[in-house]
Amino acid sequence: MRKVFVIGAASLLLLACAGIAFGQVQARFSARLSPPPEVQTAGQSYMIGIVVNTNSNSFSHFCIDFEDDHNSWVVKMPGLRAYDDDVFCFGRLRAHVKKGFYARLIAAKTGAHTLRIGLGQATIYPTTNDAILDESSRWWSGQFVITA
């Protein structure tokens, strides 16, 4: 059975036993994330599911940012606009909705790696094809091992 982690509206929650941290700033939305397995094989693909529930606010540019050390994964999110190869934006996410997003991660580099996933409102810079999440974004992080 896959683990499902919840990003809620509390201030900061640390799950020390799993080595996974969640950070929250505001209660604008809540999200549930199903992470990939902790041990992966290079060249294999893994699905991540993210379910977002918005509260009373809408987002003009709701984005998902995948930060990894050393470009250890190739990330694909069909149907979303990609910025800088690792930030994917949905566009307008209305208030009081439940929306599911799915990402395909392809493990690329062997070794121990850290993956961080950020969710939230972003500022879009179309001339440089970049999107930057704002300070109220929520972040999840995890440690993974990619084998040959």
Per-residue pLDDT of the chain (148 residues), as tens digits, is 444 444 443 322 322 223 333 444 345 889 999 989 999 999 999 999 999 999 878 888 999 999 987 889 999 999 999 998 899 999 899 999 999 999 999 999 999 999 999 999 999 999 999 999 998 899 999 999 999 9
H/E run at residue 110: none
CA-wise closest residue to 95 among 126, 60, 64: 60
Task: Count up the domains in the chain and report the number.
Answer: 1
Residue 143 is part of a domain; what is its CATH number? 2.60.40.10
pLDDT of residue 23: 42
Q: What is the pTM of this model?
A: 0.80
pLDDT of residue 28: 81
pLDDT of residue 13: 30
In 69-135 the beta strands, taken as DSSP E runs, fall at 73-76, 81-83, 87-93, 98-107, 111-125, 130-133
Rounded-to-integer distance, Cα 88 and Cα 119, Å: 10
Beta-ladder partners of 46:
105
pLDDT of residue 57: 80
| Residues of the domain holding 37 | 5-147
